[in-house]
Structure 1
Amino acid sequence: MQENIDYYINEEGNFVFTEAYHLKRGYCCENKCRHCPWHYGKDEENNKSEKK
């Protein structure tokens, strides 16, 4: 894994996987990852913001 290609470290010191990493892995883990190329869980989040 390469920093800034497969992951980056956010302000809180957590590793965040990039879309490129997820695509290399080849499947969705269904954990609602921030950069999920399959947009798992994104519909739920969009619906919540529209209701406000």
Structure 2
Amino acid sequence: MARQRGRRLPLADRPLTEPHPARLPADHPHRAAVLAVHAAALDADEAGYLDPGTGLFVLTAAFLARRGTCCDQGCRHCPYLG
């Protein structure tokens, strides 16, 4: 199914704590640290976290899910990517 920017899509069939493997592969050098800071941000109901490898701000899956639509910008924790 082609994604369309700003369109409402169903959430992917995986927990919000688990990013799509294409966006954070199992062999990513900072995977464990990324998952830990993402989980902490989810627990604190924060919009995002600072990436441990780059220092860039990354939005959480919960924030993206609450927004209600996919922006098609390649978000690491996109809850719509199936």
Q: RCO (CA 8 Å, sep 6+): is it higher in 1 or 2?
A: 2
Unmatched tracts of structure 1, length 5 or more: 43-52
Gaps in structure 2 of 5+ consecutive residues:
1-39
Q: Percent identity?
A: 39
The count of corresponding residues between Structure 1 and Structure 2 is: 38
- Which has more radius of gyration? 1
Which one has the bigger helix percentage? 1
Q: Which has the higher strand share?
A: 1
Aligned-CA RMSD value? 1.9
List 4+ stretches of structure 1 deviating above 6 A. none
> What TM-score comes out, normalization by structure 2 length?
0.41
